[in-house]
Amino acid sequence: MSRVPDELAAAGLDPAEVQAAIDRALAEDVPTEDVTSVATISADARGEGVFGAREAGTVAGLGIAALVFETVMGQTVTVTDRVPDGTRVAAGDVVMRVAGPTRGLLTAERTALNFACHLSGVATATAAWVEALEGTGARVLDTRKTLPGWRALEKYAVRCGGGLNHRMNLSDRALVKDNHVVAAGGVVPAYDAVRRAYPDLRVEVEVTDLDQLRELLDAGCVEILVDNMSTEMMSEAVRITGGRAKLEASGGLTFDRAREVAETGVDFVSVGALTHSVKVFDIGLDLMEG
């Protein structure tokens, strides 16, 4: 019996949803059979696939990759030497081995790598931001700028990299953005409207200038997003706030500015690029015939 579903559940993922994502990916890649492997490899051939990191970074999604092989090959596959998600690895490190029928190994290979390489890319990018902010007191947050259908997985990878998750969806908390402010007639009317409609829900409001910040602080808002502000303006926002609210910096933040922004004293730095522009992490599988 595979232990992977229990690991996923302990990590905050729904095993059934992960399995459904795997099933969709396999149906997309293997609608009938892997014709190349069937034609070129005998049914009784066995081999071992060695997953190696081809660059330094932080891995994530290896448990999901293992589950891909188990889905394709059932009890005929053996997975060993899998390093835990969130592990920092060096180029050349072996991160997992899979052994079983060669046809099955090659049929599952690409789908498994798609999960592991993309999620490891998210984790690696996140870890770099975490390292850049170290010692400032600021924490890195993700956003909802995720691949459709991959949000839970990508946000899991952010956690593997040491980052924090912002809201998972439009229902679990309120975030009043500039368009809501325009529609409601101001930051305070928008904040008050959410408080009346959902008195028990967390609410954060975006501001673009210091006057809006002052208005919200006077209204009792304790979570405020300072959007597209200069470093100097963010520093002033922190001074004005004086600990009365948590401040999240957002909007056009590049990695080169990470430390500079964090040192203003903001509590959080939100980075859409962790998911929407991530570079895949290079993991390769080398086949060794048994």
Q: Which residues are catalytic?
A: 110, 145, 177, 206, 227
Using CA atoms, how far apart are residues 161 and 177, in angstroms rounded to an integer? Answer: 27
Q: Where are the beta strands (DSSP E) in 208-289?
A: 223-227, 246-250, 268-270, 283-289
Using CA of residue 121, residue 123, residue 127, residue 133, what is the dihedral sign? positive
12 φ/ψ angles, rounded to the nearest 5 degrees: 90, 10
The stretches of 46-176 forming alpha helices (DSSP H) are: 62-73, 102-133, 151-160
Cα 67 from Cα 74, distance rounded (Å): 9
- Angle between the N-to-C axes of helices 102-133 and 151-160, in degrees from 0 to 180, rounded to the nearest 10: 60
